[in-house]
Amino acid sequence: MNSDHEREKLNTETKVVAVGRPAKKPDGGLNPPIALNSTFHTGGPIGYARSGNETWSALEDAISSLEGGKTLIFSSGMAAIGAILSILPSKAIIVAAKNGYQGTTNILKNLQESEKLIVRFVDPTNTKEILAAIPGSQIIHLESPVNPLLDIIDLPQVIKFAKESGAGVSIDNTFATPMNQNPLAMGADICMHSVTKYLSGHSDVLLGSLSTNDPALYSRLEQARKYGGAIAGPFEAWLALRGIRTFAIRMQRSQENALELAKRLASDPRVSKVRYPGLASDPNHLVAKSFMKGFGAMISFEPKGTPDQVDLMCDSSKLITNATSLGGVESIWERRRRWETESETIPVNLIRFSVGIENVDDLWADIQSALNAAKIS
Ligand SMILES: Cc1ncc(COP(=O)(O)O)c(C=O)c1O
């Protein structure tokens, strides 16, 4: 890619293929090397492997091309969140969802209990409550769609209000992905990812990222990474970059499958409730449509019957894997309340379903046979 300007003009499907490549030279490889060094000769900008790595830079460049700003990668999504929290002053006030991704909620609860941070937990479905909690806070950290209920936060309104109130804004864009929304373009200070999920896409690495347009913030987060030490392995970074090459096409296919399966589940009498922001009947459809380009590939639904029957259903599928995590090429589901750490506000029968890229009719047949195996009627 010759210039930032040239690459800005490219569409997502092209960027993911073109960006993060080594400079063209005779017999130079198309892909960056997996740079396995802890130690470097003096005189260069890296010096020691906790500060930088050639393979990371390629991945960071690719994520920046999708999200904007400048990117830092971390050893996991949680490590990326940890870096944000580590740069807040002690007893800073943070606004976060009371039932978002449980890892985030739990670390915030722990920091609240040890009096390191003051957390204003809000109902992410209630825009008024979010807005009321913002004045006086240092930062808001929110995700949308919210894991696992798939509620949509009115991000343009919330981000604008937070910036006007002087609060920093960090948005976890893991579920929506840069195919569907770009938090930095909406005014957020930080766009965070569990790169483990859609960006990598093959359920084989753990990685996280933070992107920002603010050079001072970038440098504080870079220091947090360097001294916190939660750095990515070069091999994982290389795998994620390889995964990103097909991110756009995977996401398109998973989203098409998700919409179709959400429609079919919604008309199945054995299912009492379906949440997918792309369904016209979803309570958040209109707000989602107002700013998202697509609706993602996660569905939440509640089969009828007992939690034991729902566990049996999740275990009886032959194609869909009963497992935690999401965003891979393979479809995965699980009953969320099987985890003791999951919030009690999540319905006991709720299945979180990460829809993969398989044939949609094969997936539907698998869902039907799992419902039958669990005798759900
Ligand atoms: C929305 C969201 N944010 C952050 C994380 C944490 O990411 P990681 O597992 O890569 O640490 C997850 C993991 O499931 C997630 O779903």
Give distance in angstroms: CA of 194 to centre of ligand 1.
5
Q: What is the DSSP letter of 193?
A: E
Q: What is the DSSP letter of 272?
A: E
Look over the chain and give the mean of its residue pLDDT values, rounded to a whole number.
96
Tell me the Ramachandran region of residue 335: left when phi exceeds 0, alpha when psi lies from -120 to 50, beta otherwise.
beta
209 and 356, same domain (yes or no): no
Task: Measure the CA angle with vertex 370, ends 281 and 277; round to 5°.
Answer: 20
368 and 263, same domain (yes or no): yes
Q: How many CB atoms lie within 10 A of CB 107?
A: 17
Residue to substitute in 197, 207, 352, 354 for testing ligand 1 pocket (most ligand atoms within 8 angstroms of CB): 197
As a whole number of angstroms, the distance between CA 238 and CA 233 comes to 9
Which of 244, 274, 302 lies at the terminal end of a domain, its last residue? Answer: 244
276, 263 contact by CB (below 8 A): no
78 and 36, same domain (yes or no): yes
Give distance in angstroms: CA of 230 to centre of ligand 1.
15
What pLDDT sits at residue 250? 98
Which of 244, 264, 297 lies at the terminal end of a domain, its last residue? Answer: 244
Find out whether the peptide bond into 148 is cis, omega within 30 degrees of 0.
yes
288 and 361, same domain (yes or no): yes
CATH number at residue 350: 3.90.1150.10
Domain that holds residue 119: 4-244
**215 vs 1, more confident:** 215
Largest distance between two CA atoms of the chain: 70
Q: How many CB atoms lie within 10 A of CB 133?
A: 22
Q: What is the DSSP letter of 350?
A: P
CA-proximal residue: ligand 1, atom 7 (nearest): 77
For residues 11, 241, 182, 261, the Cα torsion angle rounded to the nearest 10 degrees is 90
- pLDDT more than 90, % of the chain: 95
Catalytic residues: 50, 101, 172, 197
Q: How confident is the model at residue 298 (pLDDT cuts 50, 70, 90)?
A: very high
Residues 6+ apart with CB under 8 A from 135: 165, 167
Give distance in angstroms: CA of 77 to centre of ligand 1.
5
Q: How many CB atoms lie within 10 A of CB 365?
A: 13
Q: How confident is the model at residue 7 (pLDDT cuts 50, 70, 90)?
A: confident
338 and 272, same domain (yes or no): yes
Which whole number is the average pLDDT over 135-151? 96
* Sheet arrangement for strand 351-354: 271-275, 298-303, 351-354, 332-335, 321-322
The count of structural domains within the chain is 2
Structure tokens at 86: 């580590």
CA-proximal residue: ligand 1, atom 8 (nearest): 77
pLDDT (tens digit per residue) in 237-293: 999 999 999 999 999 999 999 999 999 999 999 999 999 999 999 999 999 999 999
Which of 203, 220, 244 lies at the terminal end of a domain, its last residue? Answer: 244
Which whole number is the average pLDDT over 317-322? 98
Give distance in angstroms: CA of 121 to centre of ligand 1.
19
The closest-lying atom of ligand 1 relative to the alpha carbon of residue 324 is: 14
Give distance in angstroms: CA of 173 to centre of ligand 1.
10
What pLDDT sits at residue 284? 96
What pLDDT sits at residue 2? 56
What's the sign of the alpha-carbon dihedral 307, 308, 309, 311? positive
What's the sign of the alpha-carbon dihedral 114, 120, 121, 124? negative
Q: How confident is the model at residue 1 (pLDDT cuts 50, 70, 90)?
A: low
Pocket of ligand 1 (CB under 6 A): 76-78, 101, 103, 143, 147, 172, 174-175, 194, 196, 206, 208
What pLDDT sits at residue 154? 97
Q: How confident is the model at residue 131 (pLDDT cuts 50, 70, 90)?
A: very high
How far is C-alpha 326 from the chain's CA centre?
A: 9
How far is C-alpha 113 from the chain's CA centre?
A: 26
What pLDDT sits at residue 354? 98
Which of 55-69, 196-210, 334-348 is predicted with the least confidence, judged by mean pLDDT?
Answer: 334-348
CA-proximal residue: ligand 1, atom 14 (nearest): 325
Burial 190-225 (b: 16+ CB within 10 A, else e): bbbbbbbbbbbbebebbbbbbbbbeeebbeebbebb
Residue to substitute in 63, 74, 76, 78 for testing ligand 1 pocket (most ligand atoms within 8 angstroms of CB): 78
Q: Does the pLDDT at position 357 exceed 90?
A: yes
252 and 138, same domain (yes or no): no
Which whole number is the average pLDDT over 149-156? 96
pLDDT (tens digit per residue) in 153-183: 999 999 999 999 999 999 999 999 999 999 9
What pLDDT sits at residue 4? 72
Q: Does the pLDDT at position 343 exceed 90?
A: no
What pLDDT sits at residue 39? 94
Task: Name which of 222, 197, 227 is nearest 60 in CA terms.
Answer: 222
